[in-house]
Structure 1
């Protein structure tokens, strides 16, 4: 094979690899954007309860008209954490399909556990998604009511994060599971 033919094959291969890379990145971007929509998030019937709660919150409808959707609060903006969140979120689809949470009753039975997983993740990220809109550094405490001003200042001094005080702001805070007596037959 001549040097020219070898070079030509290398250029064609590089072109195909480049095109494949562009298609791959476009596919990932399309998948992320498609699964970050309010319509996608609320398409599972077990999410109907969460959607109804969300529609009653200020994140859905407010005087300024600014709306935060599911992805704004549950999907990080930086690419690495966003991809990790999307991979981890595949388990929600899995549990819907296999029947772990496929009815509102089953979802409610697991809600305390699921909420705690979200709260733990939010604490670990210092409520990163909340802070994309609400950041202590951008708050004008003088414009807040006395109680909010005092609590936000104290939270900042203590290094608290949004979820430490604002659980149940969009979705109702679930009740912890009832303690069962270990001596009772059938108790877990």
Structure 2
């Protein structure tokens, strides 16, 4: 064995962990960059079918309000915690797939599936106890005395019953979809 081969073999055990570490750093950076880009309002509304949702959102208090605080798509639809965030991003890839495959690539096709899609979101929100809603709206942070009588009563009752936000607040940002008629057997 030559002296140069021996030198390479001695350095190889040190080189592998360094390359793996640098590869890991690049992977984490790329993942973080991808998540940040796909969490922007511009990305979310870039598909033709999302234009209807965007117009509805622009009419809501989450877009424009007296305090100037704006909740974007990611604030309501993407968890803050890394594990659930990655799961959500992975599951959301199906929306891109369906856009590309033509399942929801027009407003008409999207509307035809809107009830089904909304129910998927509502079930996910119920399962997480409206986790994304609660990052801004939490019972413990509500000053019920500042709410009107109806809201004060309903929020107090909902808290006592352990209800989650989405049980009462469907259609706050997006219009409620029309439930499809069930066909007779």
TM range (shorter): over 0.9
Matched residue count: 182
1:101 matched to 2:115? The reply is no
Instruction: Pick from 67, 73, 93 the counterpart of residue 90 of structure 1.
Output: 93
Runs of 4+ residues over 6 Å off in structure 1: 1-4
1:51 matched to 2:81? The reply is no
Find the aligned partners of 2:28 and 2:9 in 1 and give their Cα distance: 28
- Unmatched 5+ stretches in structure 1: 183-188
TM-score by length of 1: 0.93
1:12 matched to 2:15? The reply is yes
TM-score by length of 2: 0.94
Instruction: Pick from 89, 111, 117 the counterpart of residue 120 of structure 2.
Output: 117
Offset at residue 4 of structure 1 (A): 7.2
Q: Which residue of 2 aligns with 1:186?
A: none
Cα deviations by residue, 1:90-145 (Å, 9 ceiling, x for unpaired): 00001111111111001001000000000000000000000000000111111111
SS in 2 for 1:76: coil
Q: Which residue of 2 aligns with 1:24?
A: 27
1:130 matched to 2:96? The reply is no
1:34 matched to 2:12? The reply is no
Offset at residue 179 of structure 1 (A): 2.4
- Unmatched 5+ stretches in structure 2: none
